[in-house]
Chain A
Amino acid sequence: MSTMHLLVPLDGSDLSRAALTAVRTAFGPERARLTLLRVASSPPQIPSGHERRTASAAVTIPEPEERAHVYQSQEWDSARQRLRDELETEARRLEKDGWTVAVVAAFGDPAEEIARTAREEKVDLIAMATHGRSGVTRALLGSVAERTLRNASVPVLVVRPERAKERDD
Chain B
Amino acid sequence: MYDRMLIPTDGSVTARKAAREGLRLAKDHGSRVTFVHVLENPLLAGYAAPEALPYSANLYQDLKRAAGEILDEALELAKEAGVEAGAELIENRRAADAILDLAKEHDLVVMGTHGRKGFDRFVFGSVAELTLRRCPVPVLVLRGGDEPDERNPDRPAEEVAS
Which A positions have Cβ atoms within 8 angstroms of B?
Answer: 1, 22, 25-26, 31, 130, 132, 137, 140-141, 149-150, 152-160, 162, 165, 168-169
Contacts and interface: CB of A to CB of B under 8 A. Distances in A.
B44 to A, nearest CB: 24
B138 interface: yes
A169 B140 contact: no
A22 B1 CA distance: 9
A26 B136 contact: no
A157 B132 CA distance: 10
A156 to B, nearest CB: 5
Interface of chain B, main secondary structure: mixed
A155 B138 contact: no
Contact of A168 (B107, B132, B134): B134
Contact of B129 (A141, A153, A157): A141
B143 A157 contact: no
A50 B36 CA distance: 58
B38 interface: no
Interface centre among A31, A149, A169 (most CB of B within 10 A): A149
Contacts of A169: 134, 136
Contacts of B115: 150
Residue from B132, B134, B135, B142 with most neighbouring chain A CB atoms (10 Å): B132
A149 B108 contact: no
Contacts of A162: 136
